[in-house]
Amino acid sequence: MTREEIIKPENLVYKKPVLLNDNTMHYCPGCSHGVVHKLIAEVIEEMGLEDKAVGVSPVGCAVFMYNYLDIDCQEAAHGRAPAVATAIKRLWPDRLVFTYQGDGDLACIGTAETIHALNRGENITIIFINNAIYGMTGGQMAPTTLLGMKTATCPYGRDAKIHGYPLHMTEIAATLEGTAYVTRQSVQTVAAIRKAKKAIRKAFENSMAGKGSNLVEIVSTCNSGWKMSPVAANKWMEENMFPYYPLGDLKDKE
Ligand SMILES: Cc1ncc(C[n+]2csc(CCOP(=O)(O)OP(=O)(O)O)c2C)c(N)n1
Ligand code: SF4
């Protein structure tokens, strides 16, 4: 087959979304962040919201999200993305406004902002990358670190007596009256990626339709912080994270 025949529209099975530009990502090979960026770009393109999407980037490994997604973006101070997104959405109600936050940013430093924005029913979507660790700063314990899990700041493993219990932010979000759609997904297999994409689409549609707040948690790997190969990290996540953070929809108001 010639190249021309292969790239005929009827033969096209996959195309990189235009909104995901060609800048080389700084993420470690095997990291979940890049996959989720791609899904966000695909969904925005499929919804035709290229000129209406505003992403709010976190402090953490995804701090440079705006370098990879060709949409309007605003950087927020650590943990404050939901407050910034609230202001943007209230000022421009016709925009698709979403935050993109790690577990350190969302479930520790920004716990208050997250809970209150969700509880107020702001018409935004929060994408929550839960890799159970502070990736960017060298793998310290996060609120979501599993019991027994070793990190730079709990080298003998997280101990409930000393460090408390892992925080179930998504379960908390599901109890709040302002939330419309709350779900927990992952991106370690093709099937999981497809489901995660559907979840992001639903959350974005709810945000545009003014149905309330939406939280999409993506249980993720940080293979560098976990000191594992990408393949081993995926296996570890399936065996250890999924039992504690089970996948699926926790709340769907429809
Ligand atoms: C107020 C404040 N506290 C701490 C830091 C340092 N800091 C930067 S990124 C980060 C951890 C981010 O971890 P997470 O949100 O889980 O994202 P990841 O890097 O794992 O994607 C921390 C503690 C900071 N920049 N500002
Ligand atoms: S440190 Fe972890 S979260 Fe950050 S880019 Fe590397 S694998 Fe991803």
Q: Which two tokens stand for residue 103?
A: 């577990």
Indicate if the pLDDT at residue 135 is higher than 80: yes
Q: What is the pLDDT of residue 13?
A: 82
Residue 19 structure tokens: 């909104």
Residue with tokens 């790239």: 7
Mutate-to-test residue for ligand 1 from 129, 131, 133, 137, highest number of ligand atoms within 8 A of CB: 137
Give yes or no for residue 222 CB within 6 A of ligand 1.
yes
Task: Report residue 79's pLDDT band, with 50, 70 and 90 as the boundaries.
Answer: very high
Q: Which ligand neighbours the alpha carbon of 222 most closely?
A: 2
Per-residue model confidence as pLDDT tens digits over 142-201: 999 999 999 999 999 999 999 999 999 999 999 999 999 999 999 999 999 999 999 999
Amino acid occupying residue 84? V
Neighbours of 54 (CB within 10 A): 20
pLDDT value for 1? 66
Binned at pLDDT 50, 70 and 90, residue 8 comes out as confident
What are the distances in angstroms from CA 168 to CA 39, 98, 222? 24, 21, 19
Ligand 1 atom with least separation from CA of 79: 1
Cα–Cα distance measured from residue 109 to residue 231, given in angstroms and rounded to the nearest whole number: 30
Residue of the CA atom closest to atom 10 of ligand 1: 60
User: What pTM was computed for the model?
Assistant: 0.95
pLDDT band with cut points at 50, 70 and 90 for residue 51: very high
Q: Considering only CA atoms, which residue is closest to atom 7 of ligand 2?
A: 222
User: Is there an atom of ligand 1 within 6 Å of 36 CB?
Assistant: no
pLDDT by residue (tens digit) across 190-240?
A: 999 999 999 999 999 999 999 999 999 999 999 999 999 999 999 999 999
Q: Where are the beta strands (DSSP E) in 52-205?
A: 53-57, 72-75, 96-102, 125-130, 133-134, 140-141, 179-186
How many A from CA of 35 to the centre of ligand 2? 12
Q: Is the CB of 126 under 6 A from ligand 1?
A: no
At the second CATH level, the architecture of 29-252 is: 3-Layer(aba) Sandwich (3.40)
Cα→Cα distances 21→24, 32, 234, Å: 9, 17, 26
More confident residue, 100 or 1: 100
**How big is the chain, counted in residues?**
254
Asked whether the predicted pLDDT for residue 14 surpasses 70, the reply is yes
Q: Which of the two residues, 182 and 7, has the higher pLDDT score?
A: 182
Parse the chain into domains and list their residue ranges: 29-252
Phi and psi angles of residue 150, each rounded to the nearest 5 degrees, phi first: -90, 135
pLDDT digits over 96-128, tens only? Answer: 999 999 999 999 999 999 999 999 999 999 999
CA distance 21 to 130: 24
